[in-house]
Structures are given as C-alpha cells and as structure tokens.
Homo-oligomer: A and B are copies of this chain.
Amino acid sequence: MNRREFSQRLCGIALSAVFAKMAVAQQQTHDTRGKQHSRPEKPEEIGMLIYPGMTALDLIGPQQVFGYLGNVRVELVAKTKDPVRSDTGITIQPSKTFTDCADPLDILFIGGGSDGTVALMTDSETLDFLSRLGKTAKLVTSVCTGSMVLGAAGLLRGYRATSHWSVRDILPQLGAELVVNRVVQDRNRITAGGITAGIDFGLRVAAELRGEDYARFLTLALEYDPQPPYGSGTPEKATPAVKKISHSAFDPLHTAFRDAALEARKKWVS
C-alpha cells in the first residue's frame, strides 16, 4: 500500500466523517417519540462562546458530541481571533469572532469557569453579543456557571434553569427559577449543572436534533458508562470531610458570582 492509498484509507475511517453520513441517515428516520427528523437543507450553525479562564471540559464535553452530529458547523466564538487560555492552561483557537459569527444560530452555547466567568458577567461587549444572538437562536444553552452569564445578559428571566451546585442559588437574582437537575429545559433554554454535566447535556441536544437512536449510538461511541471511582459528585452525597474542603474553595467564588449578579441586574433597570 503506497502513501496515497494509505491516506485515502485513513480518510475513510475518520469517525467525524463516518458519523456525518450516519447522522444524515438517522435524520431520515423516526425517533422513538415518532417525531420526524428530516435532513435540514443546510448545516445547523452552533456557536460556542470561548473566553479566558473558561473550564475546558465544560466546552469539550458538548463539543465532542456536537462534532459527531454530522451536517453541523460548530464554531468557537470569541471577542477576537486571539488564542484563548482555559482555567487549566489549555490554549484554544477561536474560529469566529462576535462580528463574523453566524446569525441566527441554531444553538448558542456558553460554558462556565471561575474568575473568567465572573468577569464576563459585567462585560458589556460579551453581554451585548449574547443578548443579540440569544434573541434569534433556536436554542440558548449553557453548562456549569455559563448560566450565570446567560442570566447576566437577561436571557434567563422567566425561565427555569440550573447551574454548578456552588452558585445555583444565585439564579433567582438573575430572574430565573432554580430547578435542581442535571439538565433543565424550559422552552428553548437548556442549562446544565457543573462541568461533567456537559456530556449529559450534549447527548440531550443530540437526541433533540437527530433522534434518540442516534443519541444512544453516540453514548456507545463515547463509551459513556461512567463509574465515578470515589462516590458521587453532589453536595447532598458528599462526606463531611469533602464538604469542609469544598467550602473553603467555593465560598469566595459564590460571593464573587453573587456580587456580579447584583451588578448585572442594575443594567436591566437603567
């Protein structure tokens, strides 16, 4: 086998390409709820906001799922084309900016973080972008503390929503009704809990767009058979020792998010 034949053969097994064909086939069938999924005429546009200090796993969990949907355009949108550094030092290249991002989007998404996310909650350029795209997007979505920023942009007023457990009680300050669930959908708003909830969220969206059979297939492709080795990650199930550690980490963060929420609200009134 020469190099060219080898390359052609490898192209034939690139999962994203294989999945693209399969997703289209799935779109032409019925899902288990009997809802028709017809092939859209043009690729769905997904815009995922990225910013300094974001938690990379909030983004990549759903991005991995979206990337396997086939017939979608998944863009990473930032203020500028400068590379963006995550909270654990992953440097990611944006593919679109606030000015050249598709409008309307099929899905508008923002993931969470800590200091970087708090900073966005009073950043008028970001809030204006979210507010503008949020008006026309078919789905307005978030993972983790990303819902704090959606809320700051006024996009969760009157909606049921969730967030990372450490800050979710702040949602009512942003006009939302808190629902404690891993993924919460209210009309076209879908918000998810902390960090790893992004995978559950991504699969929910996959089912919405391609039917439940395709979401089940992606669950298998991702080998999503989680076995948390050290118990479950909810405050309700945490041991006293873990609760004690987590207070010292998350209490200052809660204060910062709450203050930013109060600041963001002021803009709505004025």
Contact = CB atoms under 8 A, between A and B. Distances in A.
Interface stretch (A37-45, A83-91, A97-105, A124-132): A83-91
A57 interface: yes
A118 interface: yes
B196 A226 contact: yes
Given A114-B13, A223-B195, A228-B225, A74 B88 contact: yes
A233 B219 contact: yes
Nearest to A252: B13
A106 interface: no
A237 B221 contact: no
A203 interface: yes
B241 A213 contact: yes
A239 B223 contact: no
B92 A90 contact: yes
Contacts of A229: 183, 200, 203-204, 207, 215
Sort chain A's interface into a size bin: 35 or more
Contacts of A146: none
Contacts of A220: 233-235, 238, 242, 246
Nearest to A207: B230
B56 A64 contact: yes
A219 B227 contact: no
A255 B228 CA distance: 32
Given A56-B60, A227-B200, A230-B216, A68 B88 contact: yes
Nearest to A68: B88
Nearest to A29: B241
Contacts of A107: none
Contacts of A242: 213, 216-217, 220
A37 to B, nearest CB: 14
Contacts of A193: 223, 225
Given A15-B253, A63-B56, A91-B93, A194 B216 contact: no
A149 interface: no
Contact of A199 (B19, B76, B164, B226): B226
A182 interface: yes
B252 A115 contact: no
Contacts of A56: 60, 63-64
Given A224-B232, A226-B226, 15 more contacts: A12-B252, A13-B252, A16-B87, A56-B63, A67-B86, A194-B221, A194-B222, A199-B226, A200-B227, A203-B229, A207-B229, A216-B231, A217-B242, A221-B233, A224-B228
5 contacts: A11-B115, A55-B64, A183-B229, A214-B245, A219-B232
